[in-house]
Amino acid sequence: MEVLTCNFLMPLENVDEASVPQAAMRWGRRLGNWVGGSVAIDNVDITFRMNAMNAKFQKDTSDVVIPRQQIESVGEGSLLRFFRTVDIKANGRLFRFRLMSKRRKQFLSLLNQKQ
């Protein structure tokens, strides 16, 4: 199992607005609810677990688990043309991860390995 530090795009509705300053919510509405944590990759699942600091501002703090057998496609995307993302389409949903360059390449390589 490999574990990488990353940010994951959670639904904006998951933000506990009472615990977040309004200025941060304005940015969140523009850029999305990017949550810091780690992603674990094994032969069965891709699992995102948010870190404790980010969990304080979210309603649902449970792990996001993507079964590898449900992955339809893996590709690269972008955020504001400056940040590259790893986009996983699975079970009709889009899951978006943001990692630094070296880790992004490592994540893509791990995702593209045969299960």
Model confidence at 83, pLDDT cuts 50, 70, 90, reads confident
| End-to-end Cα separation, the chain, in angstroms | 12
Q: Are 84 and 101 in contact (CB under 8 A)?
A: yes
Q: Which domains does the chain have, with CATH numbers?
A: 2-112 (2.30.29.30)
Q: pLDDT per residue over 33-60, tens digit each?
A: 899 999 999 999 999 999 999 999 999 9
CA distance 110 to 89: 16
Q: pLDDT per residue over 65-77, tens digit each?
A: 999 999 999 999 9
- The label of the residue with tokens 């449900």 reads 70
